[in-house]
């Protein structure tokens, strides 16, 4: 997906992504790792690191954790000219 975003985004253009990104630490991180073995039954993968969408061709210009509990994160990414 990120390769396609890089391909179609014009230089200077921005992409907005909203997704659940897991935490590697704390209570929430432990719960997400515990739920991972049930991902097939859940229908989603609770362990999905933010690093999966950070690619060198795009610069992260804004990150907003969305209520409740910051379970979802809005990212603004920019393709440099």
Answer yes or no: are the C-beta atoms of 46 and 32 closer than 8 Å. Answer: yes
pTM for this model (two decimals): 0.78
pLDDT digits (tens, 9 = 90+) for 12-68: 999 999 988 878 778 877 788 888 888 878 777 777 889 989 999 999 999 999 988
The full DSSP string for 11-75 is: TT-EEEEEE----SSHHHHHHHHHHGGGHHHHTS-S---GGGT--TTEEEEEEEEETTTT-EEEE
Beta-bridged to residue 65, according to DSSP, are 73
Tokens at residue 8, please?
């179609």
Q: Could you say which DSSP state residue 1 is in?
A: -
């Amino acid at each position: 997906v990120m390769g396609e975003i890089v391909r179609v985004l014009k230089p200077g253009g921005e992409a907005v992504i909203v997704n659940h990104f897991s935490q590697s630490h704390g209570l929430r991180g432990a719960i997400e790792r515990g739920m991972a073995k049930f991902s097939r039954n859940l229908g989603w993968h609770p362990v999905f690191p933010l690093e999966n969408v950070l690619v060198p061709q795009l610069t992260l210009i804004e990150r907003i954790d969305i209520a409740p509990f910051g379970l979802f994160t809005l990212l603004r990414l920019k393709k440099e000219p």
